[in-house]
Amino acid sequence: MVESWVLFASASLLLFGIMNFVLKFVSDKAPVPLLTFVIYLSTIILPLGYFVFSGTKFQITNNVLALTVLIGIIGSAAFISMTYALRAGTASQVIPVINLNTLVTVALAVLIINEKLTPKIGLGVVFAVVSLYLLTS
């Protein structure tokens, strides 16, 4: 049986892939600030419906709320940067480089929350660094 995280990660992979393709398609057809505003405005629809219909109560600590807002700010800045990168470069170069954000996530998880870096994951990190060189040279 496939673990649930694999199914959710696979769905995310597929959906992000489609989103990035469509973003590449429209990235030079409107000003980036307008694209970003419309995209982020539209992203409230599904989460709002999910929140309302799930019956979840709005109970969140100040620390979690602050970190959640920080996620939104960082995500918006990353999205704006990605849109400009897609305007200037090819999707086949830009998207793989951006998806190496995994290196940042792994490093922060190891350094800050003490996740274990197994030899297998370490080798994957090495391959990711090599792929970054191949994609940008």
What are the tens digits of pLDDT across the range 43-92? 999 999 999 999 998 889 999 999 999 999 999 999 999 999 999 999 98
Report the predicted TM-score, pTM, of the whole model to 2 decimal places.
Answer: 0.79
DSSP per-residue string spanning 2-55: --HHHHHHHHHHHHHHHHHHHHHHHTTTS-HHHHHHHHHHHTTHHHHHHHHHHT
